[in-house]
């Protein structure tokens, strides 16, 4: 199968699943929708009715890790094609990528020493 | 035709996992229980919380199910039993599974409830921890197979399975797969004892049925990925190839459930620290070892 | 036979004939898939000897996941309101089983009522299944309404907090417009309208931006409107601090001014908030980990202020505490000795035998009876047996908090077996208990999870029981775990050397008068009771329990901890909210 055919098949699969689920929703709706009663739509918080919204500026404590993650994610984008041609190219490929990995690894070590790798 | 068979296999495996999950929880083996449970969920009310982010709230379970099925669609059950044998199959698995994060954060943020929101953001931390541990072992596997095509990856294990060739990669991938599926001991987003249900908590009725189905199929997809990448896919004596694939996939999935049953939940700070301080250097070491092995061993 | 009330069902049956067959199957599915939410908590159910999962019901974690509200024992007024809130949040069809008490007044009638025993529970579940299979759908249904679900709106003057009116208007003192305090039913709708407007607004802008930006904008506009309400709330808070008990929570913002509505960066939104430990200003949420939370003792209301997933402050109160003293009890309300024993042991379901023993000892001392050497062995045996059961129950809750499914199951099974075991059965259970200890020691991630969690400050006073005994070795959750496991072995040894465990029975005292005092080492620490008898009736009493002291440790314990660690720390204290005296 050609490239386009494969992806259209996958797209058709996605559309099919979404359609099935929507059909299921519709079928359930026919059986009767949820009855609106006082207090029912408040998010459950263990027996206490708290209607206050919670959306806000969330204190994510892993931002140190997140910055390093960006660097490594870019590295992985380069490693996929490298992995495919690795055996063909031989030892030189190992050296090239080894240097790249070593530089990033040094970055990881630096981040670790500066206290990036902990719960902030 | 292949589509129907693969989807049926996926559903059947999810059902089997649900039965085993029920067995571990109650000690009784009841095959009909998941079906009744699904039907009961359909019959119940589907409550929408007050002032939700409607798009997020509705999209999360659907997206999770779509992701799980897409991941399965590129993994082979047998040489000719694969929905879409993409040229970049291994990469596509990773790309599809990246959307699990989006789905979980949407599920947490949508209902505007405290427990769910914290669960969703915690999952982002978990992703930062496990993501590299999924990608780097896949790279090492692709190095041995010289291709990202999933059927070629299985083909490259005809003589020796990858679990023997790169055991370090297998361990890391297995742990990261459990973290991706947010199953115990990595079930921070949907923790019962810490967040009263977390991201799962605000879904009821048909949406909960879709969410639970999605979580089970996600485990099956990840088990199938482990089988394809490390356990030699369909290779095995006597039985037909698809039978071996299914057996191995189910074995891995059940082992994930068992590990979760017997371990306490891991703290998020600990998970991130161990993955970054220990896991990533080990994954890099794995790549280098595999690189050397490929060049040295003919 | 079965209940008198129809099961609260999924709305009306519109297409009756067409989907009759489907409804039959769905009703059967409802009967097969029962999930219960236990009020006040799973620890109370285990303490009463109820094995819920053996009846075929799952134990649910939140009301959304449950379709049976299982009420164990009688509920106080406040817990009745909590039950009403939980019931309101359950999806239909939903049912109520009441065991060993009356249905709280805030709930509709129980669908099944039964006594407080395992057989009664199994029977009740069977009846419920039949009722569900036959009639989970009805042609008409009523809304469930309770006063606790509506919060009264009051109008207050921002400058004069003492001016409270029921109608909007202006303040008689300064003439300012009164603003609504405490969002009732209309205020969220008010917010809804604004949200809808802002959603439209957002979607127009969003076409160019990325998802990240969209989230931001969405948040900002939402924040905008909620700030509108909360600004007035916070001004009121800062001046008065009298919340008078409604669940306010939300954002504690200083009065910042937000000019025209529109784009506000997150930095502006959180401009005047207190800084977290790493110097960032973030939104803090007040989240209840309230009376019915999986893993925490049922009836303990824990309110934590969360900064992300770290706790900045916490507070614990008990909704089910026993009254600590009765002074000069009226003639009509006086209890005679037996009634008083029944009253106190019923009020403390997690340790009834210990408190029974406590009252017996106090009354016997008041009556001037000599120490009872004949029954001492039996009484000690019963006390130690309860200690083992109590610690096993605590282990089950710890397992639930840790997400450690095996521990929860194993500890619960053992607790149910130990509860009413005689001396020989206990000796037979000893290897199983020993194996539990060994397995716990060998569990890989447990030590790193518990070590260093819940460290008590060095200047804590008033510690008793296992918490005090473990404080020497470090005073963290790990030490307390091992202390309780050691106490289980010690209790087993005591039972082996003592007599057959038997429930403490009051010796005949007659119509005596006098004062008596007794101390008993309950599973959670020492409890002291002093009482005054008059002609065989209890005239006044004073009760001092360990948990009343321990509950004061909670704020210090959770401050600055991560959420999971904070909850574990509170759990490791083994607080029994029933013993927290009010």
- Domain locations in chain A? 1-31, 59-119
**Ramachandran quadrant class, C520 (left: phi over 0; alpha: psi -120 to 50; beta: rest):** beta
Q: Which of A53-67, B65-79, C233-247, C473-487 has the lowest mean pLDDT?
A: C233-247
CA–CA dist A23, A17 (Å, integer):
10
Whose structure tokens read 């693969």? B6
pLDDT at residue C115, rounded to an integer: 87
Q: Inform me whether the pLDDT recorded for C81 exceeds 50.
A: yes
pLDDT at C184 over 80: no
Beta strands in C218-351 (DSSP E): 284-289, 300-307, 310-318, 325-326, 335-336
pLDDT of residue C7: 53
B139 upstream amide cis, omega within 30 of 0: no
pLDDT > 90 in chain C, percent:
32
CA atoms of B186 and C403, how far apart (whole Å): 10
pLDDT category, C141, cuts 50, 70, 90?
A: low
Q: Is C372 left (phi over 0), alpha (psi -120 to 50) or beta?
A: beta
What's the pLDDT at C151?
67
Beta bridge partners of C317: C301
Residue in chain A lying closest to B140 (CA):
A83
Chains with at least 3 CB pairs less than 8 angstroms from chain A: B, C
Q: What is the pLDDT of residue C236?
A: 38
Nearest to B113 by CA among B26, B37, B31, B50: B50
Q: Is the pLDDT of residue C209 over 60?
A: no
Q: Which residues of B touch C192 (CB under 8 A)?
A: 50-51
Chain A partners of C188 at a C-beta cutoff of 8 Å? Answer: 51
Domain boundaries, chain B: 2-296
Parallel/antiparallel/unpaired status of strands C335-336 and C310-318: unpaired
C267: helix, strand or coil? helix
Per-window interface: B 21-60 vs A, CB < 8 A = 42-43, 45-51
Give chain B's residues under pLDDT 70.
none
What is the rounded distance in angstroms from the CA atom of residue A51 to the CA atom of residue C247?
Answer: 9
- On chain B, the residues whose CB falls within 8 A of the CB of A73 are 131-132
Tokens of residue A46, six digits: 């263990």
Q: What pLDDT is stored for residue C204 in this prediction?
A: 37
Query: Is residue C221 very low, low, confident or very high in pLDDT (cuts 50, 70, 90)?
Result: very low
pLDDT grade for A39, boundaries at 50, 70 and 90: confident
Q: Do C33 and B32 touch (CB under 8 A)?
A: no
Residues 6+ apart with CB under 8 A from A114: none
Closest CB to A57: pick one of C89, C141, C266. Answer: C266
Quick one: pLDDT at residue C253? 42
CB C392 within 8 A of CB C411: yes
pLDDT of C223 higher than 50: no
DSSP code of residue C506: P
Integer angstrom CA distances of residue C292 from B188, C107, C218, C396, C520: 20, 16, 33, 16, 29
Q: What is the 3-state secondary structure (H, E, C) of B151-199?
A: HHHHHCCCCCCHHHHCHHHHHHHHHHHHHHCCCCCCCCCCCHHHHCCHH
CA angle centred on C210, ends C209 and C216, rounded to 5°: 85
Output B50 or C226, whichever has higher pLDDT.
B50
A6-33 pLDDT, tens digit each? 999 999 999 999 999 999 999 888 877 7
Which pLDDT does position B125 carry in this prediction? Answer: 93
Half-sphere exposure of A111 (CA within 13 A, CB side): 23
The question of ipTM being above 0.85 is answered as: yes
User: Using alpha carbons only, how large is chain B's radius of gyration in Å?
Assistant: 19
- Cβ-based contacts of A35 with chain C (< 8 Å): 10-11, 92, 141, 143
Q: Which residues of B264-285 are buried (b: 16+ CB within 10 A; e: fewer)?
A: bbbbbbebbbebbeebbebbbe
Read off the pLDDT of residues C430-449 as tens digits, 9 standing for 90 and up.
999 999 999 999 998 999 99
What's the confidence (pLDDT) of residue C92?
Answer: 82
| pLDDT interval class at C150 (50, 70, 90) | confident
Q: Which of residues 32-71 of B touch C (CB under 8 A)?
A: 32-33, 36-37, 39-47, 50-51, 53
Tallying the residues shown for chain C, one arrives at: 582
pLDDT confidence band for C4 (50 / 70 / 90): very low
Per-residue model confidence (pLDDT) at position A86? 92
Residue C259: predicted pLDDT: 45
C-beta atoms of A49 and C185 within 8 A = no
Query: Do the Cβ atoms of C562 and B36 come within 8 Å?
Result: no
pLDDT, one tens digit per residue, over C327-378 is 766 666 677 888 888 888 888 999 999 999 999 888 888 888 777 777 888 8
- State how far the Cα of C218 lies from the Cα of C203, in Å rounded to an integer: 9
Note the residue count of chain A: 120
| Coil, strand or helix at C532 | strand
Q: pTM of the entire structure?
A: 0.86
CB contact under 8 A, C64 and B202: yes
pLDDT at position C10 is 45
How far is C136 from C9, CA to CA, in rounded Å? 6
Residue from the list A13, A31, A117 with its beta carbon closest to the beta carbon of B277: A117
Integer angstrom CA distances of residue C314 from A57, B191, C463: 20, 20, 19
């Amino acid at each position: 199968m050609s490239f386009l055919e494969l992806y259209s098949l996958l797209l058709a699969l996605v559309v099919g699943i979404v359609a099935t689920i929507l059909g299921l929703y519709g079928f359930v709706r026919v059986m009767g929708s949820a009855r609106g009663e006082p207090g029912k739509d408040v998010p459950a918080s263990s027996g206490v009715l708290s209607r206050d919204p919670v959306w806000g500026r969330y204190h994510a404590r892993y931002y140190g890790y997140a910055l390093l993650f960006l660097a490594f994610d870019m590295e992985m984008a380069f490693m996929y094609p490298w992995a495919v041609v690795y055996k063909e190219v031989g030892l030189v490929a190992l050296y090239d990528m080894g240097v790249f990995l070593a530089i990033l690894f040094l970055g990881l070590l630096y981040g670790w020493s500066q206290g990036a790798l902990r719960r902030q | 035709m292949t589509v129907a068979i693969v989807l049926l296999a996926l559903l059947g495996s999810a059902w089997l996992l649900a039965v085993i999950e029920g067995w571990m929880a109650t000690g009784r083996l009841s095959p009909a229980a998941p079906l009744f449970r699904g039907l009961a969920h359909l019959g119940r009310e589907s409550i929408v919380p007050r002032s939700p982010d409607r798009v997020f709230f509705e999209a999360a379970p659907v997206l999770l199910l779509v992701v799980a099925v897409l991941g399965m669609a590129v993994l082979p059950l047998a040489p000719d039993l694969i929905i879409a044998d993409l040229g970049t199959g291994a990469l596509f698995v990773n790309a599809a599974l990246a959307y699990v994060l989006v789905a979980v954060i949407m599920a947490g943020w949508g209902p505007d409830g405290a427990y769910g929101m914290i669960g969703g953001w915690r999952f982002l931390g978990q992703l930062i921890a496990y993501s590299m541990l999924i990608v780097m072992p896949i790279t090492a596997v692709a190095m041995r197979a010289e291709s990202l095509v999933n059927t070629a990856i299985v083909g490259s294990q005809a003589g020796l399975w990858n679990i023997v060739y790169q055991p370090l990669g297998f361990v890391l991938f297995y742990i990261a797969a459990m973290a991706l599926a947010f199953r115990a001991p990595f079930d921070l987003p949907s923790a019962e004892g810490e967040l009263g249900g977390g991201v799962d908590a605000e879904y009821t009725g048909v949406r909960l049925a879709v969410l639970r189905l999605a979580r089970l199929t996600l485990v099956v997809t990840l088990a199938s990925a482990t089988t394809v990448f490390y356990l030699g896919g369909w290779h095995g004596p006597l039985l037909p190839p698809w039978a071996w694939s299914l057996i191995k996939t189910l074995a891995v999935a059940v082992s994930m459930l068992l590990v979760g049953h017997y371990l306490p939940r891991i703290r998020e700070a600990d998970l991130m620290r161990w993955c970054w301080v220990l896991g990533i250097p080990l994954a890099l070491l794995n790549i280098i070892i595999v690189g050397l092995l490929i060049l040295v061993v003919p | 036979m079965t209940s008198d009330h129809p099961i609260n069902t999924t709305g009306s049956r519109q297409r009756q004939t067409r989907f009759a067959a489907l409804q039959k199957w769905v009703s059967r599915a409802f009967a097969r898939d029962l999930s219960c939410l236990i009020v006040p908590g799973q620890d109370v159910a285990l303490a009463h000897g109820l094995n819920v999962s053996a009846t075929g019901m799952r134990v649910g974690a939140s009301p959304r996941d449950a379709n049976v509200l299982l009420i164990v024992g009688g509920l106080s007024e406040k817990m009745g309101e909590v039950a009403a809130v939980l019931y309101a949040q359950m999806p239909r069809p939903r049912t109520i089983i009441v065991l060993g008490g009356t249905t709280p007044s805030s709930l509709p009638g129980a669908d099944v009522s039964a006594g407080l025993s395992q057989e009664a529970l199994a029977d009740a579940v069977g009846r419920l299944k039949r009722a569900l299979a036959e009639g989970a759908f009805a042609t008409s249904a009523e809304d469930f309404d309770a006063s606790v679900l509506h919060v009264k709106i009051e109008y207050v003057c921002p400058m004069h907090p003492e001016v409270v009116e029921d109608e909007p208007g202006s303040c008689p003192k300064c003439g300012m417009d009164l603003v609504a305090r405490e969002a009732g039913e209309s205020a969220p709708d008010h917010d809804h309208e604004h949200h809808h407007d802002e959603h439209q607004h957002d979607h127009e802008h969003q076409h160019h931006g990325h998802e990240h930006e969209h989230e931001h904008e969405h948040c900002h506009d939402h924040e905008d409107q909620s700030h509108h309400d909360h600004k007035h709330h916070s001004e009121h808070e800062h001046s008065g601090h009298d919340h008078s008990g409604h669940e306010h929570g939300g954002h504690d913002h200083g009065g910042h001014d937000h000019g025209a509505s529109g784009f506000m960066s997150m930095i502006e939104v959180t401009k005047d908030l207190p800084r977290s430990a790493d110097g960032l200003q973030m939104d803090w949420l007040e989240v209840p980990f309230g009376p019915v939370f999986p893993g925490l003792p049922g009836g303990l209301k824990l309110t934590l202020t969360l900064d992300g997933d770290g706790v900045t402050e916490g507070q614990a109160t008990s909704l089910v505490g026993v009254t600590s003293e009765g002074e000069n009890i009226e003639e009509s309300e006086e209890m005679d000795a037996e009634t008083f024993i029944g009253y106190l042991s019923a009020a403390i379901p997690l340790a009834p035998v210990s408190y029974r023993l406590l009252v017996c000892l106090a009354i016997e001392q008041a009556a001037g009876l000599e120490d009872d050497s004949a029954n001492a062995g039996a009484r000690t045996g019963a006390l130690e047996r309860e200690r083992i059961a109590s610690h096993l129950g605590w282990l089950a809750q710890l397992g639930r908090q840790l997400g450690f499914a095996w521990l929860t199951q194993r500890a619960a099974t053992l607790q149910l077996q130990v509860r009413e075991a005689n001396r020989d059965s206990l000796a037979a259970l000893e290897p199983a208990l020993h194996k539990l200890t060994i397995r716990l020691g060998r569990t890989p991630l447990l030590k790193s999870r518990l070590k260093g969690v819940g460290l008590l400050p060095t200047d804590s006073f008033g510690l008793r029981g296992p918490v005090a005994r473990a404080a020497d070795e470090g005073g963290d959750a790990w030490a307390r775990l091992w202390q309780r496991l050691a106490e289980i072995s010690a209790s087993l040894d005591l039972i082996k050397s003592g007599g057959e465990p038997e429930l403490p029975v009051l010796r005949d005292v007659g119509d005596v008068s006098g004062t008596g005092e007794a101390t008993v080492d309950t599973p959670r620490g020492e409890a002291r009771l002093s009482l005054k008898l008059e002609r065989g009736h209890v005239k006044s009493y004073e009760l001092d329990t360990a948990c009343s002291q321990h509950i004061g440790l909670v704020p210090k314990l959770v401050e600055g901890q991560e959420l999971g660690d904070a909850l574990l720390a509170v759990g490791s204290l083994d607080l029994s909210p029933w013993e927290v005296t009010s």
